[in-house]
Structure 1
């Protein structure tokens, strides 16, 4: 058996911030608990990421009853200088099937 198959990966291509954006595109009414479970991080980690994304203008939240509804700003551009001219819509389109994506 290959020893590397027994170990979890130590890095991934997508950041947790990107994963939160993708999961919200799939389900804008997802609970923090659900997001944390899908991504594999703590609920507190998700809350911090949501605050970061909200502050940077990538998402807005609206309280609907006891839940939050998130809307993504798909025209916002990536932050890193090498991708700064590209909208986050490209990431969402790459990872979220248009038929499964909720309008945001």
Structure 2
């Protein structure tokens, strides 16, 4: 079964992948790092999930300290904390900034 995010941006040379390496949490984190001023609806569209699912993921990431939220007027701004370590014990020696750097350096497709 295909994930909504896969349908939004299939990899070159693939028709419809049945799985991806990054979870929706990972994609939301990357979107926040790239576009800290993005609205929840913009993040949801970029990831390919609903705004409600995006809010739930942002709440998870905030509670775990990976994302910080602040209000500026009527808008909410999210920032990623690149110094947080991965949660899985096999990857806990690495900071998420390493992942963010990989995707920041990668050329973006439109």
Q: 2:33 is matched with which residue?
A: 25
| Larger-Rg structure | 1
**Inter-partner Cα distance in structure 2 for 1:65 and 1:87:** 31
Q: CA deviation at 1:9?
A: 1.8
Question: Root-mean-square deviation (CA), in Å?
Answer: 1.5
Q: CA deviation at 1:53?
A: 0.3
Q: 2:91 is matched with which residue?
A: 83
Match of 1:34 among 22, 39, 42: 42
**Inter-partner Cα distance in structure 2 for 1:43 and 1:22:** 16
Structure 1 residue 92 and structure 2 residue 100: aligned? yes
Provide runs of 4+ in structure 1 moved above 6 Å: none
Structure 1 residue 70 and structure 2 residue 78: aligned? yes
Q: 2:59 is matched with which residue?
A: 51
TM-score normalised over the length of structure 1: 0.84
